[in-house]
Chain A
Amino acid sequence: MPPVLATLLSATLHGLVGRVVRVEVDVAPGLPGFTIVGLPDAALSEARERVRGALRNAGYRHPPRRITVNLAPAELRKAGASLDLAIALGVLLGSEQMSADIGGVGLVGELGLGGEVRRVPGLLPMAIALRDRGVRRVLVPQEALAEASLAPELEVIGVGSLGDAAACLRRPRARRRAPEPLPRIGVGLGASPAGAVAGADDGLDRVPDLAEVRGQVAARRGLEIALAGGHALLLIGPPGAGKTLLARTIPSLLPDLDDTAALAATVVASVASEAPVTKLQRRPPVRMPHHTVSYAGMVGGGPRLTPGEVTLADQGCLVCDELPEFGRDVLEALRQPLEEGSVAVVRVGRWATFPARFTFVAAMNPCPCGRLGSAAAACTCPPGAPQRYLRRVSGPLRDRIDLWAAMDRVPPELLLRGPAPESSAVVGERIAAARACQLSRNGGVPNGRLGGRALREACGLDGPAVARAVLLSEREGLSGRGTDRLLRVARTIADLAGRPVVGAQDLDEAARFRIPADRFALGLAG
Chain B
Amino acid sequence: MLGVGRRGPLGRDAGPEAGGGASAAPQALEEHAAWVVLAGARGVGPVTFERLLATFGSAVGVLRAACETGAVPRLVEASAAPDAPPALTAVAAATVVEAAAEPERALAAVRRAGVTVLTQRDESYPRRLRQVELPPPVLFVRGEVAALSPAHAVAVVGTRRPTAIGRATAGRIAEAVGAHGASVVSGLAYGIDAAAHHAAVRRGAPTVAVIGGGHEHLYPAGNRGLATAIVAGGGAVVTEFAPDVAPSRGTFPRRNRIISGLSDATIVVEAGARSGALTTAAWALEQGRALFIVPGRLDDPAVAGSLAFLREAGPEARVVAGIAELVEDLGLEDVGVAWAAAATGDARSAAGLGAAEALVAGALRRGAGSPDELVAATGLPGAAVLAALTTLELRGLVVEVLGRYQPTGRLADCPRRLPRAMGQGAAGMPAV
Contacts and interface: CB of A to CB of B under 8 A. Distances in A.
Interface of A: 215-218, 220-221, 236-237, 366, 372-373, 375, 378-379, 383-384, 387, 405-408, 410-411, 414, 418-419, 471-472, 475, 493, 497, 505-509, 511-512, 516-518, 520-521, 523, 525-526
Contact of B402 (A406, A411, A520): A406
A419 B375 contact: yes
Contacts of A419: 375-376, 379
Contacts of B370: 215, 375, 408
Given A407-B403, A471-B394, 14 more contacts: A215-B370, A215-B372, A237-B403, A366-B402, A379-B161, A383-B191, A408-B370, A418-B372, A419-B376, A505-B387, A506-B387, A516-B403, A518-B164, A518-B401
Contacts of A526: 225
Interface residues of B, number: 43
B376 A509 contact: no
Contacts of B161: 378-379, 383
A408 B403 contact: yes
B235 to A, nearest CB: 15
Given A373-B404, A521-B167, A521-B194, A512 B390 contact: yes
A518 B401 CA distance: 6
Contacts of A507: 390
Looking at B220, B382, B394, the one whose CB has the most chain A CB atoms below 10 A away is B382
Contact of A216 (B160, B195, B372): B372
A521 B195 contact: yes
Nearest to B302: A378
Contacts of B194: 521
Nearest to B388: A508
B322 interface: no
B390 to A, nearest CB: 4
B190 A512 contact: no
Given A217-B382, A378-B163, A378-B302, A521 B372 contact: no
B149 interface: no
A244 B369 CA distance: 23
A57 to B, nearest CB: 66
Interface string B155-166: 000001101100
Contact of B372 (A383, A414, A520): A414
B371 interface: yes
Contacts of A406: 402-404
A121 B369 CA distance: 53
8 contacts: A220-B382, A373-B403, A378-B163, A418-B376, A493-B383, A516-B403, A518-B401, A520-B198
Contact of A384 (B220, B225, B393, B401): B220
B222 to A, nearest CB: 4
Central interface residue in B229, B399, B400, B403, by most chain A CB within 10 Å: B403
B117 interface: no
A414 B376 contact: yes
B391 interface: yes
B372 A217 contact: yes
A525 B225 contact: yes
A521 B198 contact: yes
B202 interface: yes
Given A366-B402, A373-B403, A373-B404, A509 B387 contact: yes
Contacts of A472: 390, 394
Interface string B125-161: 0000000000000000000000000000000000011
B201 to A, nearest CB: 8
B297 to A, nearest CB: 13
A471 B395 CA distance: 11
B382 A511 contact: no
A366 B404 CA distance: 13
B401 A517 contact: yes
B356 to A, nearest CB: 9
A217 B375 contact: yes
A221 B404 contact: no
A497 B391 CA distance: 19
B348 to A, nearest CB: 17
B302 A512 contact: no
A505 B394 CA distance: 13
B44 interface: no
Given A217-B371, A218-B403, A383-B190, A508 B163 contact: no
A384 B167 contact: no
A54 B23 CA distance: 103
- Which 5 residue pairs spanning A and B have beta carbons closest together? A406-B403, A373-B402, A217-B382, A383-B190, A508-B390
B382 A475 contact: no
Contacts of B385: 217
Contact of B222 (A221, A384, A517, A525): A384
